[in-house]
Amino acid sequence: MANKSLAKPHEETCILVTGGAGFIGTHTCVELLEQGYRVVVVDDLSNSSEKAIDRVRAITGTDAPGQRDRLTFHEANILDRAALDRIFSAHDIDAIIHFAAFKAVGESVEKPLEYYWNNVAGTLALCDVARAHGVKNFVFSSSATVYGEPDFVPITEECPKHEATNPYGQTKSMLERILTDLYIGDNEWNVVLLRYFNPIGAHPSGLIGEDPKGIPNNLLPYVAQVAVGRLACVGVFGDDYPTHDGTGVRDYIHVVDLARGHVAALDWMGGKVGTGAPSGPDAIQGQPAEDGSRRGVGVFNLGTGTGSSVLDVVHAFERACGKQLPYEIKPRRAGDIAENYAACEKAREELGWTAQYDLDRMCADSWHWQSMNPEGYATAQ
């Protein structure tokens, strides 16, 4: 079946967002709706809340009469092929942005079977049902973890991929290969692999943000929970790295910037922005469709190009919340590297996208969200 076109106006285009009630998913739904797209969300709510969808409606005005059909929510798991088939039959979907995945690195080491089953088998089921409905435009939520211990920093898309250090990272690397092979086997497919660095921050409204269940795995929500008193102290793993203050340096990106990168990827797939062929060892250029839509596999880093240390983040958050935060230096974690940050020229040149927000803004917005919602969505109205 021929692929759907993304060359048409946003208002005539419907995007399926899997995992759309999660942290990055909700922010991407906001940006899509504000750009005029119609959005269908599929989420099993295993690590998210339907209240987040209500907040997306409030931000975008899709809670108003006559606007509600621009955002539709389905509670379903991507492994449920029958449910997916019903959703594709009920909506004229043009493209998929695929976030739905288990994502805790440590847990993936303890539960590899669950991670491979959910992330890999779930994506296979999703792609199979999508193909049957002629939907072959696919934006994949990948990760900088696919580079493993990088050959050089800043990391460009030319950097070779290395063995991932945990099953979570392996699922991202495997799915990049699978989605590339889909295009090789059927050149109707149009795939973009977005390799994220470290998303933090929250929507400026304070209505949506990161709400991890249990003890946070990532630095920023942990710092935020220390700031509101839910946790006692920030653990800093290692202060003897060859960096400006001895703590590990990473590329943190505002989640709103990241979300806008997905909208830019859709425009790029539709032939509306960018020039030239996809570049990088994992990118493949196909023949454009008659309407100008791209075909092939595009690969893009999404980061700021600026490295910030763990203590830089702690101190930026202290400026945001107006108080000192307790932290404790702990031994290095196995597998952690000193520096990891992106080169983002390719996304700027091909997608017309650059990150707008700096670390202080990321921490200010994160604090706004956490202080307005100290228990996350648990007590949301």
Active-site annotation, residues = 168
Secondary structure of 148-181 in HEC code, one letter for each residue = CCCCCCCECCCCCCCCCCCHHHHHHHHHHHHHHH
Of all helices (H) and strands (E), which one includes residue 330? strand 327-330
Residue 15 exposure: Cα atoms within 13 Å on the Cβ side: 32
Cα-based angle 193, 124, 167 (whole degrees, multiple of 5) = 70
Read out DSSP for 80-124? -HHHHHHHHHHS---EEEE--S---HHHHHH-HHHHIIIIIIHHH
Q: Exposed, middle or buried, 335 (CB in 10 Å: 0-12/13-18/19+)?
A: exposed
Q: 38: which strand partners?
A: 14
Q: What is the spatial distance between Cα 187 and Cα 189, in angstroms, rounded to a whole number? A: 5
Q: What is the spatial distance between Cα 259 and Cα 210, in angstroms, rounded to a whole number? A: 14
Tell me, what DSSP letter sits at residue 342? B
Which residues, 6 or more positions from 328, have their beta carbon under 8 angstroms from its beta carbon?
233, 234, 235, 236
Dihedral angle sign, alpha carbons of residues 374, 375, 376, 381: negative
Secondary structure of 343-380 in HEC code, one letter for each residue = CCHHHHHHHCCCCCCCHHHHHHHHHHHHHHCCCHHHHC
Tokens of 238: 């290692």
Residue 257 three-state SS: helix
Q: What is the spatial distance between Cα 119 and Cα 172, in angstroms, rounded to a whole number? A: 8
Q: What is the spatial distance between Cα 347 and Cα 194, in angstroms, rounded to a whole number? A: 10
